[in-house]
């Protein structure tokens, strides 16, 4: 079957680092996406990994291991505005995105 | 118009009524998508269109229909609404299909079926 798993909720402290993990089992892998979604708003794109390794983009980095079906999103120097849900997504056999349920990240001062 | 828009923003609908959710993009993207988002379940694909004139079924298509008469518009119709269709509906678009590239999302329509 096809499945994407990520933790339901995480809590971190302002200024710290947090890693959000995602494991996936999909039949038409064409890359791994991370999106950010603030409460009551639409998802917005953060990153896309298609090759193994780490992609860095400012305070956010994303890692992919295709052999392990595993990705993580690393957020550094956390700010209160980073409080949001983080959605992991990959492709199915029709090359359409399937989505994890999202990880709600709570940032405390 | 800038990006992707949806209408209405929210709607309360009696069960059994017909409803069309509108979606328009001005980015000339080839691919468009309709998702529903329910608490604890994440985004689920209802229907998609890889290019104008074509549509396909996603994970949860039952009770919904779409059309793609031109590049810009991708309406979603509920022929006879049921309470289980209460959800937040997001329309999205991307330059190409095939699961590559960023998807851009509209602001969403919050639909309540009573």
The phi and psi torsions of B106 (rounded to 5 degrees) equal -75, 175
pLDDT tens column, B36-68: 999 888 899 999 999 999 999 999 999 999 999
* β-strand pairing of A70-75 with A18-25: antiparallel
| Cβ distance of A28 and B58 shorter than 8 Å | no
| C-alpha distance across the termini of chain A, in Å | 41
Strand partners for A105: A10, A84
Measured in whole angstroms, the distance separating CA B33 from the mean position of its chain's CA atoms is 6
Chain B residues lying within 8 Å of A43, measured CB to CB = 43, 90, 103, 105
Least CA distance to B37: which residue of chain A? A101
Looking at residue B81, its pLDDT comes to 97
| Cβ distance of A48 and B58 shorter than 8 Å | no
Q: How far apart are CA B96 and CA B106, in angstroms?
A: 17
Least CA distance to B31: which residue of chain A? A96
Res. A1: pLDDT tops 70: no
| Cβ distance of B43 and A99 shorter than 8 Å | yes
pLDDT band at A41 (very low <50, low <70, confident <90, very high): very high
Going by the DSSP 8-state scheme, the letter that residue A45 receives in this structure is E
**CB neighbours of residue B27 within 10 Å:** 15
Measured in whole angstroms, the distance separating CA A7 from the mean position of its chain's CA atoms is 10
| Cβ distance of A31 and B44 shorter than 8 Å | no
Looking at residue A68, its pLDDT comes to 94
- On whether any CB of chain A is under 8 Å from the CB of B93, the answer is no
Measured in whole angstroms, the distance separating CA B16 from the mean position of its chain's CA atoms is 19
| Cβ distance of A102 and B42 shorter than 8 Å | yes
């Amino acid at each position: 079957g096809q499945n994407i798993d990520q933790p339901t909720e995480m809590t971190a402290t302002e200024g710290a680092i947090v890693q959000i993990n995602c494991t996936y089992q999909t039949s038409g892998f064409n890359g791994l996406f991370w999106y950010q979604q603030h409460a009551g708003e639409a998802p917005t794109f953060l990153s896309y990994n298609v090759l193994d390794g780490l992609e860095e983009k400012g305070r956010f980095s994303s890692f992919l291991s295709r052999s392990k079906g595993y990705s993580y999103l690393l957020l550094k120097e956390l700010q209160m505005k980073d409080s949001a849900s983080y959605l992991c997504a990959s492709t199915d056999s029709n090359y359409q995105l399937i989505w994890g349920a999202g990880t709600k990240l709570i940032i405390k001062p | 118009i800038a990006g992707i828009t949806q209408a209405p923003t929210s709607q309360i609908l009696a069960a059994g009524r017909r409803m069309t959710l509108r979606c328009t993009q001005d980015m000339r993207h080839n691919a468009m998508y309709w998702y529903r988002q329910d608490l604890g379940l994440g985004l689920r694909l209802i229907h998609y269109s890889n290019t104008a004139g074509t549509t396909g079924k996603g994970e949860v298509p039952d009770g919904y229909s779409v059309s793609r008469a031109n590049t810009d518009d991708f309406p979603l119709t509920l022929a006879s609404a049921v309470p289980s269709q209460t959800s937040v509906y997001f329309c999205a678009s991307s330059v190409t299909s095939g699961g590559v590239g960023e998807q851009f999302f509209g602001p969403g329509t919050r639909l309540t079926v009573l």
